[in-house]
Amino acid sequence: MTPGFFQFCLPPRVPRDDVFYLPYWHVRGLAFTCANNTVRFRVVDTSRCAAELDFAPPTLGLRPQAMKLHFASSDQNAFFVSRRKEARDLLLQADAWQKIDSLSAREQVWLREFIGETCSCIYAPFYYKNKTYYDAVLDRPIHRIPINEKAPNLKGKRDPGRQISFIPAMCPQCGWDLSGDKETSVFICHNCDNVWDSETGKLKPIDCSVAETDEKDVLYVPFWRMQANIEGISLETYADLIRFSNLPKAVTSEFEQQRLSFWAPAFKIKPKLFLRLLQQLTILQPNPAESTHLKNLRLTPVSLSKKEAAESIKIALAELAVKKHLFFPQLENIHTNVTASRLVFLPFRQSGYDFVQCHCGFSLSRSAFKFGRKI
């Protein structure tokens, strides 16, 4: 998630001076659930009230899509109720997740994870009159306070607080313009070949390389290659992975020495494909010659941060485990700690409607990239 986020307001149906706004987190991203013995996934676009008040509707329903939003800013006639919870914590709660993934209450859930989420806060207007709360968008009563009870004191401010912080798009190394999407936390300098991460609000250099190929007219697609210490299971070498996933390969002394790297897409893609690439590349362990020259290459944008990729390691483990019924109950107690990560651009050649990876031969459809932009 980027530091800061956009804050929007839904307009009341009729302008009034006694309106107060309740905060809702609006989150889009990929949701993965390890339930029973499978890894499930879906694309999520959801909202959730962040104020913890009995009378507040739990979600905004279709309102963010159906109505015109405007930026929330300080207003003498408005009152913004404080948020009680952060978006991620709120959505990862069991009851919220049950709705997100339409799980039945009987299903045993071992892991809930959000990857590549974009998050904003939407303020919805309400007002209070004659011991009744009204939804000011619909101009309809939603909750009546019993005669012998008092309305709760709402805590909040006239000012909704800071908006997303924009990072100057200038290379700290050479002053050249940086390229990157507005939702991307990774920026590339095509002048000095440095790559920068803005996730913490400051630009920090990232280790980056390009897998070399002799092929012409290729498209370079970004992936995160990570090494991690995994507390709770022995998974340090490629030989460990062969045993963990029961891969059809003989364990050689070379594999016993080869440090295992986890690979994750560094771009948003359908969750089913994300999972496939996570598994496929971690099994394949590509090892082509690499360079650090980015100039004049066709690079696809990085839309998934290093931190998000690190969170996907547990999902990779769940998908790679051969004995899922034994492994899933341990997921909660397994901690992953990324010790090294590098952004690696892998070349793909176009073949009809597909892109084929030049070293490993697996393919991605052209539509896979288009879909990712909408998440």
Task: Return the range that interacts with Zn ion (CB under 5 A); candidates 41-49, 92-100, 166-174, 306-314.
Answer: 166-174
Task: Return the range that interacts with Zn ion (CB under 5 A); candidates 44-52, 65-73, 74-82, 169-177.
Answer: 169-177
Identify the DSSP state of 193.
-
Q: Are strands 195-197 and 204-206 parallel, antiparallel or unpaired?
A: antiparallel
Residue 174 found at the interface with Zn ion (CB under 5 A): yes
Both tokens assigned to 189:
């300098």
CA distance 242 to 250: 8
CA distance 231 to 233: 6
Residue 179 found at the interface with Zn ion (CB under 5 A): no
Residue 55 found at the interface with Zn ion (CB under 5 A): no
> How many of the chain's residues bind Zn ion (CB under 5 A)?
7
> Binding to Zn ion (CB under 5 A): which residues in 345-374?
none
Return the percent helix, strand and coil in the chain, to nearest 5.
20, 35, 45
- If the CB atoms of residues 36 and 173 are measured against Zn ion, the closer one turns out to be 173
Query: Is the distance from CB of 372 to CB of 272 less than 8 angstroms?
Result: no
Task: Return the range that interacts with Zn ion (CB under 5 A); candidates 70-78, 128-136, 170-178, 248-256.
Answer: 170-178
Hey, which residues does 71 pair with through a beta bridge? 8
Strands across the sheet with 195-197, in order? Answer: 178-179, 186-189, 195-197, 204-206
State the nearest-atom distance from the C-beta of 171 to Zn ion, in Å. 3
- If the CB atoms of residues 100 and 188 are measured against Zn ion, the closer one turns out to be 188
Residue 191 found at the interface with Zn ion (CB under 5 A): yes
Using alpha carbons, select from 42, 129, 41, 29 the residue that is nearest to residue 88: 29
55, 128, 176, 369: residue in contact with Zn ion (rule CB under 5 A): 176
Task: Return the range that interacts with Zn ion (CB under 5 A); candidates 141-149, 164-172, 197-205, 315-323.
Answer: 164-172
- If the CB atoms of residues 128 and 176 are measured against Zn ion, the closer one turns out to be 176
Both tokens assigned to 66:
């159906």
- If the CB atoms of residues 37 and 191 are measured against Zn ion, the closer one turns out to be 191
Residue 98 found at the interface with Zn ion (CB under 5 A): no
State the nearest-atom distance from the C-beta of 170 to Zn ion, in Å. 9
- If the CB atoms of residues 163 and 191 are measured against Zn ion, the closer one turns out to be 191
Token pair 């016993």: residue: 256
CA distance 13 to 332: 46
Burial class of residue 30 in the structure, from the number of CB atoms within 10 Å of its CB (0-12 exposed, 13-18 middle, 19+ buried): buried
Query: Is the distance from CB of 312 to CB of 278 less than 8 angstroms?
Result: yes
- If the CB atoms of residues 210 and 277 are measured against Zn ion, the closer one turns out to be 210
31, 87, 119, 189: residue in contact with Zn ion (rule CB under 5 A): 189
Residue 173 found at the interface with Zn ion (CB under 5 A): yes
- If the CB atoms of residues 35 and 195 are measured against Zn ion, the closer one turns out to be 195
Token pair 């890894």: residue: 39
Residue 192 found at the interface with Zn ion (CB under 5 A): yes
- If the CB atoms of residues 56 and 171 are measured against Zn ion, the closer one turns out to be 171
Question: Contact positions toward Zn ion, by CB under 5 A?
Answer: 171, 173-174, 176, 189, 191-192
